[in-house]
Amino acid sequence: MNIIYLHHSTGGVIWKGTKPSLIMKAISKVSNRLANIVSPKPYLPQLFAEYNKDHSKNYLIKEMTFPKANPYGWNNYPYDYYNIWVKNAGDDPFLEEPTLEILTKEYQVIIFKHCFPVSNVQEDMDTADVNSSLKTISNYKLQYSALKDELHKYPDTKFILFTGAAQVKANITENEAKKAKEFFAWVTEEWDLPGDNIFLWDLYALETEGSLYLRDEYAVSPTDSHPNSDFARKSAKLLFSRIIDIIENEGNSTRLTGEKK
C-alpha cells in the first residue's frame, strides 16, 4: 500500500518527530536534498518500518511538500486544496502541483493538512465565495463541501485530513481563535461523515486540549506555533496509530486523535 503525506512545516515536524535545529534550518535554505541526507532519520517512517517487520506488511509512506513555494505559492489552506483539486482538476498538474487524478493513480492513502495560519479566521463577508482565498468560516465551509464531493469520486482511495493546526496565544487574536475553534468543531461534528472514504486526525484537539490556543508546553516557544520535539514525537505516534487503524479497521478502533477507544 502506497501512502503519501502532503505537508509543510508543522507536518514536517511531526514527520520527523522533532523540531528542526538552527543548523538544519540553514541547510534547508541552501538545499532540501542536502537537508534530507544529513538530517536524522524521520520518526514516522521508522514507525511504519517497524510495524511492517513485526506484522509482515508492506505499507510504504512518502512525504511531499504540497504545494511548493514556486510556482504555486506556500499556501495549503482550504481554498488552495479546492483550487488545485476541484477547480483545476484534470490529468495534468496545475502549476506543477499534482491533481487528485494524478495522486490517486499512485497512492491508496492520501494524507493532507493545513499550516497554522489557517486559524487566522476573519469576519464573514456579506456573501460567501468558494473562489475566495479570504479566510472566513463561510468560505471554508463552501470549499470543504466542494472538496468532500471531489474526494468521494475516488472511493478506492482513503483520504486522511488533519484538523487545522492551532496557534500560540501571542500570535492570534481571541476572535480569530474562537472562529477557528468553531470551524474545526463543524469539521468534526458535521462535515465528517461515517462510512465514507474521508477520515480525520484531530491535531487541533491534541494541541489545544479544549482551549483556544496551542498550549505553551507543546510549542517551540510562547511566540512560535510550531510543535516542540516532545509534542511532535507524541503526535507522530498517535498519527501512526490512526493511519494503521484507518487502513485496517476503517478507523473504528481509535478516536479522531489516534488514541485507542
222: preceding bond cis by omega (within 30 degrees): no
| Entry pTM | 0.91
In this prediction, residue 12 carries a pLDDT of 83
**What does the alpha-carbon distance between residue 184 and residue 99 come to, in Å, rounded to a whole number?**
25
Cell numbers found for residue 120: 487566522
Over residues 65-70, mean pLDDT: 93
Supply angle C-alpha 252, 215, 4, rounded to 5. Answer: 45
Altogether, the residues listed in the chain come to a count of 261
**What does the alpha-carbon distance between residue 68 and residue 194 come to, in Å, rounded to a whole number?**
32
**What does the alpha-carbon distance between residue 141 and residue 176 come to, in Å, rounded to a whole number?**
16
Residues paired with residue 69 on neighbouring β-strands, in sequence order:
none
**What does the alpha-carbon distance between residue 19 and residue 107 come to, in Å, rounded to a whole number?**
27
**What does the alpha-carbon distance between residue 181 and residue 175 come to, in Å, rounded to a whole number?**
10
Q: Got the DSSP string for 124-190? A: P-SS--TT--S-BHHHHHHHHHHHHHHHTT-TTSEEEEEPPPP--GGGS-HHHHHHHHHHHHHIIII
Over residues 245-260, mean pLDDT: 97
**What does the alpha-carbon distance between residue 168 and residue 60 come to, in Å, rounded to a whole number?**
34
Q: How many CB atoms lie within 10 A of CB 18?
A: 20
Cell numbers found for residue 86: 476541484
In this prediction, residue 22 carries a pLDDT of 54
Cell numbers found for residue 155: 472511493
pLDDT in tens, 111-169: 999 999 999 999 999 899 999 999 999 999 999 999 999 999 999 999 999 999 999 99
Over residues 90-99, mean pLDDT: 97
231 and 13 Cβ atoms separated by less than 8 Å: no
Per-residue pLDDT band for 26 (boundaries 50, 70, 90) equals low
CATH topology of domain 2-249: Rossmann fold (3.40.50)
pLDDT at 76 over 90: yes
